[in-house]
């Protein structure tokens, strides 16, 4: 169902364990990302439901629990990641169901969650068709907000990556947008950007957008 080989880089057992370990071990990056998430979600009531998709090994699900969210759910397409996430959440005493789910076709009813949180997935999508499919799914299952990360084309790290590829050509695995381009993609899915937070403006490429599904204000 996922059309492009570069994106369909599945996390098997060993890769999932390596990713989980590497991400958590990169302490400064993890802290920076956790601070970005805390900033983006500062206005969200802690008793609203929130789906962490993709959860990977539940790194950010644990951060969301630390931030005080009590109605958490998590999902990922990789069975190995789902297993790691379940183990991590059980170890941490966090009560959150973890579902095996593909973001292209989510097994959830319309407006199932107040908030859908999509961290470090979007930049892997190689085509606008795929971006549109997934954004439409996130918008469909979110009642109040979609909180979603992307990589900013204008940042130092994005420009450095592009420059390095001039000398060492290889298939791109990270795709970037400008804030304007990203807002336009969200608008096509019926999502209106209300805030766009940078981890460190124009240096780090990671940004986290808070968007409202059109009509959400009328149907709180």
Ligand X SMILES: C[S@@+](CC[C@H](N)C(=O)[O-])C[C@H]1O[C@@H](n2cnc3c(N)ncnc32)[C@H](O)[C@@H]1O
Instruction: By CB under 6 A, name the binding residues for ligand X.
Output: 2, 11, 23, 54-56, 59-60, 76-78, 81, 102-104, 119-121
Distance CA 88, CA 145 (A): 26
The smaller minimum CB distance to ligand X, of residues 208 and 216, is found at 208
* Interior angle at CA 191, CA 189 and CA 193, nearest 5: 140
Structure token pair of residue 85: 């996430």
Closest distance to ligand X from the beta carbon of 94 (Å):
15
**Closest among 57, 52, 59 to 17, alpha carbons compared:** 57
* Interior angle at CA 138, CA 161 and CA 62, nearest 5: 75
**Closest among 59, 67, 66 to 41, alpha carbons compared:** 67
Closest distance to ligand X from the beta carbon of 130 (Å):
9
The smaller minimum CB distance to ligand X, of residues 60 and 186, is found at 60
Stated as kind and residue range, the H or E segment containing 83 is helix 79-92
The smaller minimum CB distance to ligand X, of residues 56 and 126, is found at 56
Q: Which residue has the tokens 């059980």?
A: 90
The smaller minimum CB distance to ligand X, of residues 78 and 155, is found at 78
Q: Which residue has the tokens 């997934």?
A: 134
Closest distance to ligand X from the beta carbon of 20 (Å):
8
Q: Is 27 exposed, middle or buried (0-12, 13-18, 19+ CB in 10 A)?
A: exposed
The smaller minimum CB distance to ligand X, of residues 8 and 154, is found at 8
CA dist list (Å): 9 to 3, 28, 99, 105: 11, 26, 19, 18
Residue of this chain nearest to ligand X (CB atom): 56
Closest distance to ligand X from the beta carbon of 127 (Å):
13
Closest distance to ligand X from the beta carbon of 46 (Å):
20
The smaller minimum CB distance to ligand X, of residues 121 and 151, is found at 121
Closest distance to ligand X from the beta carbon of 167 (Å):
26
């Amino acid at each position: 169902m996922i059309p492009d080989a570069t994106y369909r880089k599945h996390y098997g057992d060993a890769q999932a364990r390596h990713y989980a370990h590497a991400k958590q071990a990169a302490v400064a990056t993890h802290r920076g990302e956790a601070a970005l998430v805390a900033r983006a979600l500062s206005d969200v009531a802690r008793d609203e439901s929130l789906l962490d998709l993709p959860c990977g090994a539940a790194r950010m699900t644990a951060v969301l629990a630390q931030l005080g969210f009590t109605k958490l759910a998590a999902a990922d397409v990789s069975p190995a990641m789902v297993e790691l996430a379940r183990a991590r959440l059980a170890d941490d005493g966090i009560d959150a169901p973890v579902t095996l789910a593909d973001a292209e076709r989510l097994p959830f009813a319309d407006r199932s969650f107040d908030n859908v949180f999509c961290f470090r997935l979007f930049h892997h999508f190689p085509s606008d068709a795929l971006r549109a499919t997934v954004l439409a799914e996130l918008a469909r299952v979110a009642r109040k907000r979609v909180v979603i990360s992307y990589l900013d084309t204008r940042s130092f790290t994005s420009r450095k990556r592009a420059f390095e590829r001039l000398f060492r050509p290889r298939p791109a695995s990270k795709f970037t947008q400008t804030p304007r381009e990203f807002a336009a993609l969200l608008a096509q899915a019926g999502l209106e950007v209300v805030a766009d937070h940078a981890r460190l403006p124009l240096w780090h490429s990671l940004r986290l957008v808070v968007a409202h599904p059109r009509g959400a204000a009328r149907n709180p």
